[in-house]
Amino acid sequence: MIAEKGVWNRLRTRLLFTGPTLFAFLTVMIVPFVYGIYLTFTNWDGIATSHTLVGFQNYGEVFRDRDFWQSFALTLKYVLFSVVLINAIAFALAYALTKGMRGQSLFRAGFFVPNLVGGIVLGFIWQFIFSKVLVYFGTKADIPLLSYSWLTDPDKAFWSLVIVTVWQYAGYMMVIFVAGLMNVPNDILEAASIDGARGWMRMRKMTLPLMVPSFIVTIFLSLQRCFMVYDVNLSLTNGGPFKSTEFVSMHVYEKAFLSRDYGVGQAEAFVLFLLVAAVTLLQVYFSKKLEVEA
Amino acid sequence: MNKIKGLQVLILSLLVVMVVTACGGNGGGKDTNASDSGNGAGNASASGKAVKITLLNSKGEIQTQLEDAAKAFHEDNPNITLEIQAVPTGGSPFERASALYASGNPPTMIMLDTGDVEKFKDRILDLSGEKWMADTVANATDLTTFDGKNYAFPLAIEGYGFIYNKAVVDKAAGGSFDPSTITTTSALENLFKQIEASGKKALVISPMDWSLGAHYLPLAYAGQSKDPAEVNKFLDSLKAGTADLANNKVFNGLMDTFDVMMRYNLDQKSPLSGAYERGPEVLGKGEVGIWFMGNWAWPQISGFDTANGQYGFLPVPISNNPDDYGNQEISAAVSKRIVIDKEKSTPEQQEAAKKFLNWIVYEAKGQDFLVNKASIIPAFKNITLPAADPLGKSIQAYMAKGKTEPSMSTLPADHWSKVGASMQKYLAQKSDRATLAKEIEDYWKSVK
């Protein structure tokens, strides 16, 4: 059908297949995105019926907003720990669950389930665990570390967020790793064994290089999701105690809707978009270079 | 090939139809709303078509009461269906309302905080001509009047201070406790000591940012002077960066009281762990004698009540001189306002919404909902029902004596969140008073 004659005929055939998706993509992604960039040049407060153009003033404001950069630094720290832990734990789980132990499908499903729970609900569940359940056991068993809520201490609240995020995403990444591990050819591993490579050596020289494509995907996914985290942040700590765990998405939201500085908030969102896009593209570019042929 | 072409055309036209109808459904929604929702009102009176209106409720504690009121209103006006929407907990009505406006689907009525009304004034109805305007209490609509037009319906008067559990303080005082004796910080501390001596804890500080940032700290602004113009001048000097908070007498007095509160706080070990729900529980059960909160907390306290409904308010003292302004006064003001959308609502919906507001003020059922069911202190002179709950009664008693201090209801929108965070830091002893004063000053300098 692609061979049909005439520009119109070809266009029509293509539109038939891509049209609906293209339409949805344009209306819900591209148009709001462009309109959002336009709003960064205005002083709109989010509700007024009129606004004026202010040029690059909002961007100047972004670079002067110390809180924005502080929460960005905090987010970086969170992303670093979360991404490393998510991938390490997910890989370990996947490795253990491809050994052919009894009931491994059940375990796989079990570890995957947290990913099916929405972030908001998950945050509330863990809030209850951190501020009630653990405190209850902590006071009963007289463990000082658990005898008051982790969510009221800036450092521990940060680690609570990391723990919950890892718990949420490790199962999802595990599924990707499981698929990757099943595709590592057995003959290569056997050949390596015959050559005398054992456990760790086989893992490092054979399995890991062949798993690079999976790692690219999982690191990309976890990077992007952790940078943009909002739901867990909102329902678990709500930025508290005293704004010490306010990640950058939440800061942008509060700038736009709470401080009613929509233009600056939108400009911050755009700056954030550029930074995250740069980080993830760099990650994909450099890890592509690590890929090997089996 | 021909067959395939025919199929193509069929699918294409189907798609087009789907897209068109989907769009049409959205665009025409607001027009058809009025007519197709009338099924419930089979015997709609001849006076008009069936109308469906919505109210965005931002007083979460009266959600069920409002839903019941909507049903009662529907019985009185079978052709009007009122649906109550709720602002998600923790969200502000402004956020929700502006999001709904941005999506082109605003509710007919929105319950806003006083300071938010001005932002919406291009989108909402001028209510100056309404009948209830003549019956409001003094100054109730001053803050929502712009260019001589009032844009909002004053729903509730709310006040806050120290709520005491009479059973606990009576026992501590060894006899009948007289609230009028607590007019200084040292008298308050003395009361705390007496309560502790009687084997209970003195008070619980609820560490929510809105409580500390929107209610407790603003007492330092409102207490500057009896004259509202002086208070505004003080806020202007804060914005200009010329106010010296660290050496301000009222601020320091208020924080001295806060230091005393922190020393006797039930949750001293982990001051930030308590949630709102803990306050009414420990106060109602009599585990503590005092809680800093407002009269809106009655529905929750009553669920745990062990003091036979005997509660009342104490002022928050700011010095050791009983005659200083604020030491005998309770902070109170009209706090929630209902506005009517004029942008997307049809004239019928607007009329129906006005009818609902009048129903609250003038109909027996409406008044019963307001005062008895929702425990609201009305802002209307014609409603003579006495407050149904002890906290409302206590506020009304202070109002009758003229012992009220206007609450700060037009602070910048993010004040409660930013300053509340600084207060939490102070409460957790992660900062000292100089840092707190500096953070508050810095916040005000950043306000546009």
CATH (domain of B91): 3.40.190.10
Interface check B430 vs A, CB under 8 A: yes
Å from A216 to nearest chain B CA? 37
Q: Using the beta-carbon criterion (under 8 Å), do B424 and A240 form an inter-chain contact?
A: yes
pTM for the structure as a whole: 0.79
B17: in domain: no
Q: For chain A, what is the domain count?
A: 1
Q: Which domain holds residue B402?
A: 159-332+396-446
Kindly state whether residue A37 falls inside one of the protein's structural domains. no
Q: What is the C-alpha separation between A228 and B412, in angstroms, rounded?
A: 28
Q: Are residues B68 and B196 in the same domain?
A: no
> Do B325 and B263 lie in a common domain?
yes
Name the residue among B8, B272, B448 with its Cβ closest to that of A241. B272
CB contacts under 8 A, A 252-291 vs B, are 254, 257-261
pLDDT tier, A253 (very low <50, low <70, confident <90, very high otherwise): confident
Which 3 state secondary structure label does DSSP give B83? strand
How distant is the Cα of B427 from the closest Cα of chain A, in angstroms? Answer: 10
Amino acid in position B232? N
Average pLDDT value for residue range A7-28: 89
Q: pLDDT under 50 in chain B at which residues?
A: 1, 23-46
B 71-110 residues with CB < 8 A to A? 90, 92, 94-95, 97-99, 101-102
Q: CA distances (Å), B9 to each of A1, A12, A13, B371, in order?
A: 15, 10, 11, 64
What residues of chain A lie within 8 A of the CB of B120, using their CB?
Answer: 47
* CATH number of the CATH domain containing A146: 1.10.3720.10
- Closest in A46, A241, A258 to B428, CB measured: A241
How many CB atoms lie under 10 A from the CB of residue A201? 13
- Domain assignment present for B29: no
pLDDT category, A31, cuts 50, 70, 90?
very high
**B338 and B322 both lie in a single domain:** no
**Which residues lie closer than 8 Å to B44 by C-beta, 6 or more apart?**
B38, B50, B78, B79
- Are both B100 and B219 inside the same structural domain? no
**Statement to judge: residues B294 and B369 lie in one domain:** no
Boundary residue ending a domain (B342, B370, B390)? B390
Q: Which residues of A touch B122 (CB under 8 A)?
A: 48-49
Distance of alpha carbon B134 from alpha carbon B448, whole angstroms: 36
* Cis omega (within 30 of 0) for bond into A241: yes
Q: Which pLDDT score, from 0 to 100, does residue B6 have?
A: 61
Query: Looking at the predicted structure, is the pLDDT value of residue A247 above 60?
Result: yes
Hey, CA dihedral for B34, B36, B41, B42, is it positive or negative? positive
Are B403 and B361 found together in one domain? no
Is residue B11, in this structure, part of any structural domain at all?
Answer: no
**Boundary (domain end) residue, out of B347, B367, B390:** B390
- Cβ of B160: how many Cβ atoms within 10 Å? 26
> Looking at the domain assignment, is residue A123 inside a domain?
yes
Q: B427 to each of A283, B258, B267, B271, how far by Cα in Å?
A: 43, 9, 11, 7
| Residues B309 and B428 occupy one common structural domain | yes
Residue A90: per-residue pLDDT: 92
Span B61-81, pLDDT tens digits: 788 888 888 888 888 888 888
Evaluate whether residue A260 is within a structural domain.
Answer: no
Co-location of B58 and B69 in the same domain: yes
Higher pLDDT, A57 or B22: A57
B97 interaction partners in chain A (CB closer than 8 Å): 47
| B410 in any annotated domain | yes
Say whether residue B170 is in contact with chain A using an 8 A CB cutoff: no
Q: Which of residues 238-277 of B touch A (CB under 8 A)?
A: 269-273
pLDDT for res A259: 80
Record: contact B95-A257, CB cut-off 8 A: yes
In a domain, B31, yes or no: no
- As a whole number, mean pLDDT of residues A65-72 equals 88
A70 touches chain B (CB under 8 A): no
Domain assignment of residue A216, yes or no: yes
- Of B119, B414, B430, nearest to A47 by CB-CB distance is B119
- Is the residue at B141 inside a domain? yes
d(CA A73, CA B220): 34
Give how far Cα B327 sits from Cα of B212, B220, B316, B405, Å: 18, 12, 6, 10
Residue A230 forms part of a structural domain = yes
Q: Is the sign of the CA dihedral B141, B143, B147, B152 positive or negative? A: negative
Q: What are B404's strand-pairing partners?
A: B330
Total domain count, chain B: 2
Expressed as residue numbers, the domain containing A124 is 67-247+275-288
Residue A1 lies in a domain: no
Give the integer Cα–Cα distance in Å for B157 and B160.
Answer: 10
Same domain, B421 and B378: no
Q: Is residue B378 part of a domain?
A: yes
Q: Which helix (H) or strand (E) holds B79?
A: none
Comparing C-alpha atoms, which of B168, B156, B198, B140 is closest to residue B312? B168
DSSP state of B380: B
CA geometry: angle B412, B415, B421, nearest 5 deg = 170
Q: Does A57 touch chain B (CB under 8 A)?
A: no
Amino acid at A188: I
Separation CA A156–CA B430 (nearest Å): 15
**How far is Cα of residue B276 from the mean position of the Cα atoms in its chain?**
15
Higher pLDDT, B142 or A227: A227
Cα separation, B168 vs B170, in Å, equals 5
| Whether residue B304 sits in one domain with residue B206 | yes
Assigned domain for B200 exists: yes
Q: Are residues B291 and B326 both part of a single domain?
A: yes
Are residues B441 and B322 part of one domain?
yes
